[in-house]
């Protein structure tokens, strides 16, 4: 039987279940990554498992999110992460070494392996023919301990590429076109596998931009074959031994196929406030812009910065506009410094940021009130930039640089011939920013600052759950809505009592207060509830405040899993009319919960305020049901290990 690439890798790693769409499977995880915004909690959870050492081929702890050290909190977390990594056999990438996805692509990713990361953009490494997936930190902690990662067996959507990108058209435009076709909900339950003759024309870094923003589709992951372009990249990284050819079998089939002719693509841009609100750049050209940001894990490679420098060379940024540029790693930073590209960018009037997530995660560079900002980032959710009334557009570095020069959104084709770049065949290699763990048997002291609080746990689920529906929300509620990021909130990731004060803060500033007064509560959501970041704090902090269950029209994959992992029951409406009938503040109750969870997939919900009942359903595997009954994944895993 001819296998697609996704099934080839899944078959090699399957430890539980069968590759039947929608049924739960468990797969072996070869590599893990964490970043500091999610990592502190992930390692606290790993410690709680009581294991001596990680059991993966390699696990890496990165520091790239919480880089602003305005107080002791971030520095203390970084110290904890370094010491716990040394203790448990984890490599530690120091602050300044780069953004986790960029560095992992450069130094650790290998074709044919599985990678699980506590960041939703972990699929970046699908560019190297990996099954690379984002997950909550607790799932990553279990994987570090040698446990399988469980997920619904995905459908495989083939994106058949033909032709070749034309001048000024980039990998960013490919993924924006896929988002235009599928929308932010269209990838849920799917792996997006790229194939066809057009793949050969895409460089590895163009592919990584595409797989990175596959997260915005809601996809499980995205993947490219490993071919000569993959080899060229690994040779440049001094890692030729890690290369092997890997692709779909001839005649392999897909659950759905999308056709894209690269010849016909033009520069595209995502308008506020969603990555799928995509139009040609020409359609919005001339729109005045106050800020441009180039970088993020999506577009901060050597090529991205070199093309930016070539466009800016000898010119000045528009005087009424601010431009920031972020190299994705120490490797990129060093290479653009030695090539002269960095000087060109600085001389143009741009501001250079350190190699970190920075403004993409709302950590600095918030636009001015009501400003329009064009960014080479991956998300443009309302308020994510740090300014509630800003308008963020997503575009390629080429479009961003052209816009920075003109002061208005500009199609880069209007600049004339595209500059020709001659990138070196060998990249600068210096791994001193990655610290190896202590040798097996050595157990360095784990250092904890006062902001690192004990991990809160939920007790086993009770027979009666419920409370006020404190919020009734619409479609596409993101984890940024539920648990904001930004410079004020991110330093509190290891302190659940403190960070819980910001739950739903962007929706209702008094939400935490109302939740505490209610004691227990529920949330009502629309389609695609919990899209966006993998941040488990969007489940953990509401659990701490007393959230019992969520009823939505549909859920994003990672957030649904995170809810289960922290003992919160995710349910969907059997009849959509019931969503319309519920009012915010209605008291909802469910009885005989434990019996119902074991018996089937439906529960009767009583609206005590309005005096009627309705049916809600849950789509959980037997294993997930047991996790809920235990009160969460950590309780379940520890009990199973006894």
pLDDT tens readout for residues 76-131: 999 999 999 999 999 999 999 999 999 999 999 999 999 999 999 999 999 999 99
Which CATH number goes with the domain that contains 489?
3.20.19.10
399 and 530 housed in the same domain: no
Determine the pLDDT at residue 487.
Answer: 81
pLDDT band at 641 (very low <50, low <70, confident <90, very high): low
What per-residue confidence (pLDDT) applies to 640?
75
Assess whether 180 carries a catalytic annotation. no
Within-domain flag for 519? yes
**Tally of CB atoms within 10 A around 272:** 15
- CATH number for position 306: 3.30.499.10
Is residue 119 part of the annotated active site? The answer reads: yes
- Summarised one tens digit per residue, pLDDT across range 220-240 is 999 999 999 999 999 999 999
Query: Which neighbouring-strand residues pair with 555?
Result: 529
For 566-604, how does the pLDDT look when each residue is reduced to its tens digit (9 = 90+)? 999 999 999 999 999 999 999 999 999 999 999 988 999
Question: 375 an active-site residue?
Answer: no
Helix %, strand %, coil % for the chain, to 5? 35, 20, 45
Is 91 among the domain residues?
no
Model confidence band, residue 363 (pLDDT cutoffs 50, 70, 90): confident
If one counts the domains in the chain, the total is: 2
Q: Do 478 and 387 lie in a common domain?
A: no
Cβ(128)–Cβ(110) below 8 Å: yes
Query: Residue 544 in 3-state DSSP?
Result: helix
> Is residue 642 predicted with pLDDT exceeding 70?
no
Strands 521-524 and 547-552: parallel
pLDDT above 70 as % of the chain: 100
d(CA 257, CA 41): 39
Tell me: do 403 and 509 sit in the same domain. Answer: no
Q: Rounded to whole angstroms, how far apart are CA atoms 483 and 617?
A: 25
Q: Which of 83, 120, 396, 533 is catalytic?
A: 533
> Is residue 299 a part of any domain in this protein?
yes
To the query of whether residue 373 is one of the catalytic residues in this protein, the response is no
In a shared domain, residues 329 and 471: no
What are the phi and psi torsion angles at 503 (to 5°)? -60, 130
Nearest to 64 by CA among 90, 33, 86, 87: 33
Note whether 399 and 509 are same-domain residues.
no
Whether residue 595 is found in the same domain as residue 537: yes
- Are 360 and 294 contacting, i.e. CB atoms less than 8 angstroms apart? no
Contact 409, 286 (CB under 8 A): yes
Determine, yes or no, domain membership for 6: no
One of 30, 36, 77, 119 is an active-site residue; which one? Answer: 119
Examine the domain organization and report whether 619 and 478 are in the same domain.
yes
Answer yes or no: do 474 and 411 share one domain.
no
Whether 211 and 181 have beta carbons less than 8 Å apart is answered as no
DSSP conformation class of 610 = T
Given a contact cutoff of 8 angstroms between Cβ atoms, the answer to whether 187 and 156 are in contact is no
> Are 566 and 635 members of one domain?
yes
DSSP labels, 22-45: TSEEEE---EEEEEHHHHHHHHHH
Q: Is this prediction's pTM over 0.85?
A: yes
Distance of alpha carbon 391 from alpha carbon 406, whole angstroms: 18
**pLDDT at 46 exceeding the cut of 70:** yes
Convert 217-239 to b/e letters by CB count within 10 Å (16 or more is b): bbbbbbbbbbbebbbebbbbbeb
Alpha-carbon gap, residue 262 to 349, rounded angstroms = 34
Torsion, CA 525, CA 531, CA 535, CA 540, rounded to 10: 10
Structure tokens at 37: 């915004």
Q: What is the mean pLDDT of the chain?
A: 95
Average pLDDT of the residues in 34-58? 93
Catalytic: which of 13, 28, 195, 379? 379
Catalytic residue among 65, 155, 273, 413: 65
Domain final residue pick, 396, 415, 434: 415
**Residue numbers of the domain that contains 376:** 268-415
- Is residue 434 in some structural domain? no
Judgement on whether residues 394 and 496 belong to the same structural domain of the protein: no
Please name the residue that has the structure tokens 């210096």: 430
Mean pLDDT of 609-613: 97
- Confidence label for 637 from pLDDT (cuts 50, 70 and 90): confident
Q: Which of 13, 101, 207, 535 is catalytic?
A: 535
Query: For residues 585 and 565, is the Cβ–Cβ distance under 8 A?
Result: no
Indicate whether 252 belongs to any domain. no
- Selection from 383, 536, 448 nearest residue 77 by Cα: 448
Beta carbons within 10 angstroms of residue 451's beta carbon: 20
Distance between start and end Cα atoms, the chain: 41
Find out whether the peptide bond into 273 is cis, omega within 30 degrees of 0. yes
User: Same domain for 383 and 486?
Assistant: no
Residue 59 lies in a domain: no
pLDDT band at residue 67 under the 50/70/90 scheme: confident
- Reported as half-sphere exposure (CB side, CA atoms, 13 A), residue 458 has a value of 30
In a domain, 506, yes or no: yes
Going edge to edge, which strands form the sheet with 190-195? 221-223, 190-195, 155-162, 256-261
Which string of DSSP letters, residue by residue, matches 502-524?
GTTTTT-TTHHHHHHHHSSEEEE
Same domain for 395 and 476 = no
Specify whether the CB–CB gap between 65 and 361 falls below 8 A: yes
Distance separating alpha carbons of residues 331 and 329, to the nearest angstrom: 5
User: Which one of 393, 415, 437 terminates a domain?
Assistant: 415
Residue 495 has pLDDT above 90, yes or no: yes
| Known catalytic residue at 255 | no
Instruction: Compute the distance between CA of residue 12 and CA of residue 214 in angstroms, rounded to an integer.
Output: 23
Max Cα–Cα distance, the chain, nearest Å: 72
State CA 42 to chain mean position distance.
Answer: 15
Mean pLDDT throughout 9-19?
A: 97
Which of 376, 395, 415 is the C-terminal boundary of a domain?
415
65 is catalytic: yes
In the chain, what percentage of residues exceed pLDDT 90?
Answer: 88
């Amino acid at each position: 039987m001819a296998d697609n690439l996704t099934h080839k890798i899944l078959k090699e790693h399957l430890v539980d279940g069968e590759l039947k769409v929608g049924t739960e499977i468990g797969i072996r995880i070869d590599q893990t990554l964490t970043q500091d915004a999610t990592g502190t909690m992930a390692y606290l959870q790993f410690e709680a498992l009581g294991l001596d050492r990680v059991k993966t081929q390699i696990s890496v702890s990165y520091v790239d999110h919480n880089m602003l050290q305005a107080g002791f909190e971030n520095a203390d977390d970084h110290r904890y992460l370094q010491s716990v990594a040394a203790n448990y056999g984890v490599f530690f990438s120091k602050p300044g070494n780069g953004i986790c996805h960029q560095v992992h692509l450069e130094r650790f990713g290998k074709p044919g392996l599985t990678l699980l990361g506590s960041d939703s953009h972990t699929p970046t490494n699908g560019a190297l023919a990996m099954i690379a997936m984002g997950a909550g930190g607790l799932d990553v902690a279990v994987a570090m301990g040698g446990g399988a990662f469980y997920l619904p067996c995905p459908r495989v959507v083939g994106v058949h590429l033909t032709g070749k990108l034309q001048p000024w058209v980039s990998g960013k435009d490919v993924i924006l076109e896929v988002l235009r076709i599928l929308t932010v909900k269209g990838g849920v339950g799917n792996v997006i596998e790229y194939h066809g003759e057009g793949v050969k024309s895409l460089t590895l870094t163009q592919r990584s931009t595409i797989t990175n923003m596959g997260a915005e589709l809601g996809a499980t992951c995205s993947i490219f074959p490993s071919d000569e372009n993959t080899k060229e990249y690994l040779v440049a990284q001094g890692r030729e031994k890690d290369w092997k050819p890997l692709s779909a079998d001839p005649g392999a089939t897909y659950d759905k196929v999308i056709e894209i002719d690269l010849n016909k693509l033009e520069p595209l841009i995502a308008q506020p406030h969603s990555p799928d609100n995509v139009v040609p750049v020409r359609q919005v050209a001339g729109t005045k812009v106050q800020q441009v940001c180039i970088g993020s894990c999506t577009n901060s490679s050597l090529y991205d910065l070199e093309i930016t420098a070539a466009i800016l060379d000898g010119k000045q940024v528009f005087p009424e506009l601010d431009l920031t540029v972020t190299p994705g790693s120490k490797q990129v930073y060093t290479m653009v410094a030695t090539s002269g590209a960095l000087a060109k960018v600085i001389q143009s009037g741009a501001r250079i940021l350190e190699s970190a997530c920075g403004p993409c995660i709302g950590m600095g560079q918030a636009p001015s009130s009501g400003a329009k900002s064009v960014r080479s980032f991956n998300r443009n959710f309302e308020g994510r930039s740090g300014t509630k009334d800003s308008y963020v557009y997503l575009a390629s570095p080429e479009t961003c640089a052209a816009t920075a020069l003109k002061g208005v959104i500009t199609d880069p084709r209007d600049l004339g011939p595209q500059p020709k770049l001659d990138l070196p065949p060998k990249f600068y290699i210096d791994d001193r920013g990655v610290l190896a763990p202590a040798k097996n048997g050595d157990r360095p002291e784990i250092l904890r600052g006062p902001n690192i609080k004990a991990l809160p746990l939920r007790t086993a689920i009770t027979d009666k759950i419920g409370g006020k529906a404190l919020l009734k929300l619409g479609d596409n509620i993101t984890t940024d809505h539920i648990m904001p990021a930004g410079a004020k909130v991110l330093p509190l990731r290891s302190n659940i009592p403190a960070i819980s004060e910001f739950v739903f803060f962007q929706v209702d500033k008094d939400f935490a207060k109302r939740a505490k007064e209610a004691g227990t509560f529920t949330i009502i959501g629309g389609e695609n509830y919990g899209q966006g970041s993998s941040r488990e704090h969007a489940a953990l902090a509401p659990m701490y405040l007393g959230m019992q269950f969520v009823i939505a029209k549909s859920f994003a994959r990672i957030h649904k899993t995170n809810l289960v992992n922290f003992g919160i029951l995710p349910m969907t409406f059997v009849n959509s009319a019931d969503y319309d009938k519920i009012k915010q503040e209605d008291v909802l109750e469910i009885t005989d919960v434990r019996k119902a969870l074991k018996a089937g997939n439906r529960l009767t919900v009583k609206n005590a305020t309005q005096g009627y009942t309705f049916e809600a359903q849950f789509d959980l595997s037997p294993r997930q049901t047991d996790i809920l009954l235990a009160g969460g994944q950590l309780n379940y895993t520890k009990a199973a290990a006894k």
